[in-house]
Amino acid sequence: MPYTRVHRLLKIIALVQSSRYPNAADLAHECETSERNIFRDLQQLQGAGVPIVYDETVGGYRLANQFFMPPVHLTAEEALALSALCEHIGRHDQIPFLKAAWRALHKIESQLPTDIQDEMAQQSRDVHIHTAPAMPPDGHQDVYDAVQSALATRRTLRCKYEPATTASPVDRADETFEFHPYALLFSVRAWYAIGLHCGRNEIRSLKLSRFSKVKPTHIKYEIPDDFDMHEHLGNAWRMIRDGDDVHVRIEFDEEFAQTVSDTQWHRTQDIVWHADGSCTFTCTVAGLSEIEWWVLSMGPHAKVHAPQELADRVRKLASETAAVYG
């Protein structure tokens, strides 16, 4: 089917609705037309009741009055999958701040055929999803909103942060610093803001619940073109990249071997089975501070063979744990 002006008008709405705040040049580039045509299209859309406005604070177009296009047509499989996620992950705040997804689900449901609505309701009763318990959202909703807004508008935040008790003395809790958010990350139990800590001049992962002050500013910043979340985390066991890559080799006895092999613990892992039912688990991690606690949680069923530094750390922690019960 040939590309028509109708296609272009719909594409403009989709681009503006994406919350990336495109300007006329951006829209002209994406739609492969001139800026003059874009301005004419915008006028026609506004005349048809689509509330597209130019926002000088972000330097681009956005949709006013929470205007949204009608829901897309979903297959039964897609609708059921959304129901499972929104009902159990969003409604009960298993991942904080996603309750809006549950509210959105009910708007989508109202547009679906009755038989699919009934099937979704049944699935909600039959399917249960439990994630690891997360930090309760009370007390830092404002931090989440501020970081999300800063990401959308590329506006610097002025912050205070309460570091962990084991943090370096240079990470003073009373210090005010400017922060450029690059991404929001939910990892296992909590939300983190990853971005440039201007006071340290390095990229940091900061836990939202530890911000004691977050104040938006009018200072613009840019996320570097070469920033990539996955590259930043690298081979961290979870999210703390605190050293060079190191090869880890751990032996698990027969009792725990199957349990360990059933889970993808790390993207680089490999498992070799032995005749006696035990297995050797290998991976490459960037730093040992996170994986040492994982090994310790396996108790006497795991033995570190490499590197020696990890074996020494686990031995020390195990001895100190035993001494508590001495």
Evaluate whether residue 80 is within a structural domain.
yes
Cα–Cα dist 278/244, whole Å: 29
The reported pLDDT for the residue numbered 309 is 97
Q: Are residues 153 and 201 in the same domain?
A: yes
pLDDT digits (tens, 9 = 90+) for 219-241: 999 999 999 988 999 999 988 88
CB 3 within 8 A of CB 31: no
The answer to whether residue 4 scores a pLDDT higher than 90 is no
Count other C-beta atoms under 10 Å from residue 141's C-beta: 12
Q: Are residues 318 and 258 in the same domain?
A: yes
The reported pLDDT for the residue numbered 173 is 58
Evaluate whether residue 304 is within a structural domain.
yes
Average pLDDT over residues 14-40: 87
Evaluate whether residue 109 is within a structural domain.
yes
Q: Are residues 40 and 91 in the same domain?
A: no
Evaluate whether residue 69 is within a structural domain.
no
- Average the pLDDT over each of 11-20, 31-40, 111-120, 246-255 and give the range with the smallest value: 111-120
Collapsing DSSP to helix, strand or coil, 147 comes out as: helix
The answer to whether residue 1 scores a pLDDT higher than 80 is no
Q: Are residues 146 and 217 in the same domain?
A: yes
The reported pLDDT for the residue numbered 172 is 58
Q: Are residues 259 and 305 in the same domain?
A: yes
Residue 87 tokens, joined? 């009902």
The reported pLDDT for the residue numbered 138 is 65
Q: Are residues 35 and 103 in the same domain?
A: no
User: What pairing do the DSSP bridges indicate for beta strands 245-252 and 302-306?
Assistant: antiparallel
pLDDT digits (tens, 9 = 90+) for 171-220: 555 689 999 999 999 887 889 999 999 999 999 999 999 999 999 999 99
Q: What CATH number corresponds to the domain at position 9?
A: 1.10.10.10
CB 272 within 8 A of CB 279: yes
Q: Are residues 222 and 148 in the same domain?
A: yes
Residue 307 tokens, joined? 């590197």
Q: How is residue 200 annotated by DSSP? A: T
Rounded to two decimals, what is the model's pTM? 0.67
Q: Are residues 93 and 40 in the same domain?
A: no
Average pLDDT over residues 140-163: 91
Residue that finishes a domain, picked among 167, 202, 228: 228
Phi, psi of 298 (to 5 degrees): -85, -5
The answer for residues whose C-beta is within 8 angstroms of residue 91's C-beta and 6 or more apart is 99, 102
With CA atoms as reference, report the closest residue to 104 among 79, 137, 131, 75. Answer: 79
Evaluate whether residue 134 is within a structural domain.
no
Q: How is residue 3 annotated by DSSP? A: -
Q: Are residues 315 and 251 in the same domain?
A: yes
The answer for residues whose C-beta is within 8 angstroms of residue 214's C-beta and 6 or more apart is 142, 143, 146, 147, 157, 158, 159
Q: Are residues 200 and 166 in the same domain?
A: yes
pLDDT digits (tens, 9 = 90+) for 79-127: 777 777 777 777 667 777 777 777 777 777 776 667 667 777 777 777 7
User: What pairing do the DSSP bridges indicate for beta strands 202-207 and 52-55?
Assistant: unpaired
> How many separate domains does the chain show?
4
pLDDT digits (tens, 9 = 90+) for 263-279: 999 999 999 999 999 99
Evaluate whether residue 262 is within a structural domain.
yes
Counting every residue written for the chain, the total comes to 326
- Rounded (to 5) percent helix, strand, coil in the chain: 40, 25, 35
Q: Are residues 188 and 265 in the same domain?
A: no
Evaluate whether residue 158 is within a structural domain.
yes
Q: What CATH number corresponds to the domain at position 282?
A: 3.30.70
Average pLDDT over residues 9-20: 81
User: What pairing do the DSSP bridges indicate for beta strands 279-286 and 270-273?
Assistant: antiparallel
Evaluate whether residue 238 is within a structural domain.
no
Q: How is residue 171 annotated by DSSP? A: S
Range of the domain at 20: 5-63
